């Protein structure tokens, strides 16, 4: 994001003081942003908790002054605060958290776009923000939270975040340490998209040779080919962030797999399969989920342990039941906070690349402070 004409942000806080005062007067503070314990009286903004909200710029309006723009170091600290403190807020619904975090991350991207930040600094901020957003959306569950959060808007913001990051990569003259990982996340989030695959295939061969991107390409290939066993075997091995990115496609992949089984096995007398086999094949969270999935598609059960594929009994009249994705996603948190996941997986990548240099673009990582 070069440009000597762009201002350099100098705001030291997550939310400029002027905005805090304005939103305090107008009573537009979110409960995550107020001084704890100020119940019964006027809400007061907590400088340590208030985060700049997103405001669309009016056409023709001059850019904000540097005092209203947060520099990359403050933007990164803001994202880490959202991931480490807000995401795990006690007593808040996941929908409320997702709505708040998505809006504040959108403001982070706007602040970054309005100033002359270096590509290395911008990439680190955009990567951390995108990782946080992917995890927050995944924690809503496969069905989102109907009536509480705009799932379409969240999806749009994820795609916009990918767009901002990938433009940053394209505009820079050199490789970024985590580029292969986030290009892979882009493909996984858009699994099965011809356009996304074409964009990935146009990347340099050295980048496509990196392990993270090779794995994403393998998942996309298995999904396209309908290779159920290979697809879910690969999904089981994905790290947490990659699992968050692909979660939205899991239900569809399971339905396609069940349809293929029905076509292959359905007879007039009815062939059967153990439900335990279905649990293993489709990486379900237990026999109860296998039973729900089969019954939702009109398949009969032989007692509690086997599914019967009887000709004419498979149907796709309604959406399949929502799964919990604990095996494929939730279990991979392994007790860590989101901030720990984002930072640990970045460090793990660096260590892995330092001992197994698989491509020229997978260079050792440098922190934001080191890039200055």
Q: Structural domain boundaries of the chain?
A: 17-248
- Written as one string, the DSSP assignment of 67-118 is GGS--HHHHHHHHHHIIIIITT-TT--HHHHHHHHHHHHHHHHHHHHTTT--
Q: 128: number of CA atoms within 13 Å, CB side?
A: 27
Distance of CA 193 to the CA centre of its chain: 17
* Cα distances (Å, whole numbers) of residue 324 to 133, 143, 254, 279, 289: 19, 10, 13, 13, 9
The encoded tokens of residue 364 equal 């050792």
Count of beta carbons in the 10 Å neighbourhood of residue 334: 10
Q: Which of 328, 327, 342 is nearest to 87 (CA)?
A: 342
The encoded tokens of residue 122 equal 């911008």
Q: 145: number of CA atoms within 13 Å, CB side?
A: 16
Q: Tell me, what's the pLDDT at 40?
A: 61
Rounded distance, CA 339 to CA 354, Å? 23
Instruction: Give pLDDT tens digits along the chain (372 positions).
Output: 444 478 899 999 999 999 999 999 999 999 999 998 765 667 899 999 999 999 988 777 888 999 999 999 999 999 999 999 999 888 889 999 999 999 999 999 999 999 988 888 999 999 999 999 999 999 887 655 555 678 889 999 999 999 999 999 998 867 789 999 999 999 999 999 999 999 999 999 999 999 999 999 999 999 999 999 999 999 999 999 999 999 999 999 999 999 999 999 999 888 999 999 999 999 999 999 999 999 999 999 998 789 999 999 999 876 667 667 899 999 999 888 888 887 765 544 443 443 333 454 443 333 333 333
What sign results for the dihedral spanned by CA atoms 190, 196, 201, 205? negative
Q: Tell me, what's the pLDDT at 361?
A: 44
Strands 271-274 and 306-309: antiparallel
Which three-class secondary structure state does DSSP give residue 185?
A: helix
Burial of residue 269 (CB within 10 Å: 0-12, 13-18, 19+) is exposed
Which residues contact residue 287 at a Cβ distance below 8 angstroms, ignoring those fewer than 6 apart? 275, 276, 279, 304, 305
Q: Which residues pair with 45 in a beta bridge?
A: 34
Rounded distance, CA 130 to CA 157, Å? 9
Positions of E strands within 198-354: 271-274, 300-302, 306-309
Rounded distance, CA 149 to CA 140, Å? 9
Determine the straight-line distance between the first and last CA of the chain, rounded to whole angstroms. Answer: 15
pTM: 0.88
Residue with tokens 């990935």: 200
CATH number of 17-248, picked from 3.30.70.100, 1.10.3720.10, 3.40.50.150, 1.25.40.990? 1.25.40.990
The encoded tokens of residue 293 equal 């999935």
């Amino acid at each position: 994001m070069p440009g000597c004409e762009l201002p350099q942000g100098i705001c030291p806080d997550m939310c400029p003081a002027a905005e805090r005062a304005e939103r305090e007067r107008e009573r537009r503070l979110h409960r995550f942003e107020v001084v704890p314990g100020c119940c019964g009286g006027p809400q007061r903004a907590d400088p340590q908790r208030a985060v700049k909200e997103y405001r669309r710029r009016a056409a023709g309006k001059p850019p904000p002054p540097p005092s209203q723009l947060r520099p990359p170091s403050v933007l990164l600290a803001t994202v880490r605060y959202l991931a480490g403190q807000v995401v795990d807020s006690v007593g808040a619904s996941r929908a409320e958290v997702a709505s708040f975090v998505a809006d504040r991350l959108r403001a982070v991207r706007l602040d970054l776009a309005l100033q002359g930040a270096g590509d290395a600094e911008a990439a680190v901020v955009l990567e951390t923000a995108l990782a946080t957003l992917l995890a927050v959306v995944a924690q809503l569950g496969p069905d989102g939270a109907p009536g509480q959060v705009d799932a379409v808007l969240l999806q749009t913001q994820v795609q916009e975040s990918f767009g901002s990051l990938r433009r940053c990569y394209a505009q820079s003259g050199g490789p970024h340490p985590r580029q292969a990982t986030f290009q892979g996340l882009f493909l996984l989030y858009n699994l099965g998209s011809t356009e996304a695959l074409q964009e990935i295939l146009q990347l340099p061969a050295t980048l496509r040779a990196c392990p993270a991107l090779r794995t994403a390409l393998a998942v996309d290939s298995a999904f396209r080919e309908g290779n159920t066993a290979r697809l879910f075997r690969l999904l089981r091995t994905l790290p947490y962030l990659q699992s968050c990115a692909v979660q939205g496609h899991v239900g569809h992949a399971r339905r396609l797999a069940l349809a293929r089984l029905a076509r292959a096995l359905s007879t007039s007398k009815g062939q059967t399969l153990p439900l335990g086999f279905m649990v293993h094949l489709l990486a379900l969270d237990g026999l109860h989920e296998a039973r729900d999935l089969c019954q939702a598609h009109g398949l009969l059960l032989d007692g509690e342990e086997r599914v019967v594929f009887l000709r004419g009994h498979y149907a796709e009249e309604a959406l399949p039941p929502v799964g919990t994705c604990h095996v494929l996603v939730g279990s991979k948190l392994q007790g860590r906070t989101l901030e720990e996941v984002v930072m640990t997986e970045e460090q793990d990548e660096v260590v892995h690349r330092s001992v197994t240099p698989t491509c020229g673009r997978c260079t050792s990582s440098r922190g934001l402070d080191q890039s200055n």
